Chains A and B, each alone.
Chain A
Amino acid sequence: MSISVPEKGWYSKPLDKEEKVWVAIAVAWCLLTFFLMPVWHVVGKQNPSSESYKVDPVKFNELAAAFAEKYKVGEENGIPVVRPPAGSDVFVVAGSYQWRPILELEKGKEYRIHLSSTDFQHGFSVVSPKFVMNYMALPGYDYVLKVTPTEAGTYSIICNEFCGMGHHIMIGKLIVK
Chain B
Amino acid sequence: MAQQNFRTCPTTGLKVHLPAEGLIKANAVVAVVAILIGGIAALAVLLTRVPAVHILPADWFYRLLTAHALDMLVVWIIFFEVAGLYFGGAVLLNSRLAAPKVAWFAFLLMVVGAVIVNAIVLMGGADVTFTSYPPLKAHPAYYLGIILFAVGTLTAVGLFFGTLAIAKKEKTYDGSLPMVTFGLMSAAIIAVLTLAHGAAIYIPTFLWSIGVLPSIDPSMYRIIWWGFGHPSQQINVCAMVSVWYLLATLTTGAKPLNEKLCRTAFLLYVLFINVASEHHLLVDPVLSTAHKIVNTSYVMHLAVLASMIHAFAVPAMTEVALRNKGYTKGLFEWLKKAPWGEPGFSAMMLSLFIFGFVGGITGVTFGTEQISIIRHNTWAITGHFHGTVVGGTTLAFMGLTYYVVPLIFRREIISKKAAQIQPYLFGIGVFIMANAMMFAGSYGIPRRHWDITFAGAAFPYSFDPTAMLFMTLAGLGGLLAITGGAIYVLNTVGSVFFGKKIS
Residues of A within 8 A of B (CB): 1-6, 8, 10-11, 13, 15-16, 18-19, 22-23, 26-27, 29-31, 33-34, 37-38, 40-41, 44, 46-48, 50, 52, 76-79, 98, 119-121, 123, 125, 127, 129, 131-136, 138-143, 156, 158-165, 167-173
Contacts and interface: CB of A to CB of B under 8 A. Distances in A.
B174 A46 contact: no
Contacts of A133: 373-374
B259 A26 contact: no
Contact of B461 (A37, A76, A127, A138): A127
Contact of A129 (B368, B449, B464): B464
A138 B218 contact: yes
A100 B248 CA distance: 57
A120 B216 CA distance: 12
B341 interface: no
B483 interface: no
Given A1-B255, A167-B449, A41 B444 contact: no
A16 B258 contact: yes
Contacts of A160: 376-378, 446-449
A47 to B, nearest CB: 6
Interface centre among B12, B177, B448, B458 (most CB of A within 10 A): B458
A52 B286 contact: yes
Given A3-B12, A132-B378, A171-B454, 9 more contacts: A22-B312, A33-B364, A52-B286, A121-B133, A121-B135, A127-B463, A132-B374, A136-B283, A141-B219
A87 to B, nearest CB: 22
B175 interface: yes
Looking at chain A's contact residues, the main secondary structure is mixed
B246 A3 contact: yes
B218 A141 contact: yes
B217 A140 contact: yes
A120 to B, nearest CB: 6
B332 to A, nearest CB: 16
B256 A123 contact: no
Contact of A38 (B131, B257, B287, B293): B293
Interface stretch (B95-103, B148-156, B298-306): B298-306
A13 B258 contact: yes
A138 B173 CA distance: 54
B257 A19 contact: yes
8 contacts: A4-B92, A34-B298, A41-B289, A123-B377, A125-B378, A138-B218, A160-B446, A170-B457
Contacts of A143: 284-285
A131 B374 contact: yes
A2 B444 contact: no
Contact of A141 (B14, B135, B286): B286
Looking at chain B's contact residues, the main secondary structure is loop
Contacts of A120: 133, 135-136
Contacts of A127: 443-444, 461, 463
Contacts of A138: 218-219, 222, 284-285
Contact of B261 (A8, A23, A38): A23
A34 B176 contact: no
Interface of B: 12, 14, 58-59, 62, 92, 127-129, 131, 133-136, 173-180, 217-219, 222, 245-246, 248-250, 253-261, 282-289, 292-293, 296-298, 301-302, 304-305, 308-309, 312, 316, 364, 368-370, 372-378, 442-444, 446-452, 454, 456-459, 461, 463-464
A165 to B, nearest CB: 6
Contacts of A172: 458-459
Contacts of B369: 37, 40-41, 47-48
A37 B297 contact: yes
Interface centre among B219, B370, B456, B459 (most CB of A within 10 A): B459
Nearest to B247: A2
A143 B461 CA distance: 25
Contacts of B136: 120-121, 162-164
Contact of A19 (B176, B178, B258): B258
A38 B176 contact: no
B301 A34 contact: yes
A158 B219 CA distance: 21
B285 A173 contact: no
Given A119-B135, A138-B285, A171-B461, A37 B293 contact: yes
Nearest to A18: B316
B257 A26 contact: no
Contacts of A76: 459
B443 A161 contact: no
A132 B461 CA distance: 13
A162 B129 contact: yes
A47 B370 contact: yes
B222 to A, nearest CB: 8
A47 B461 contact: no
Contacts of B175: 5-6, 8
Nearest to B248: A2
A120 B457 CA distance: 19
Contacts of A98: 458
Contacts of B305: 26-27, 30
A19 B129 CA distance: 44
Nearest to B91: A3
A123 B447 CA distance: 10
B178 A5 contact: yes
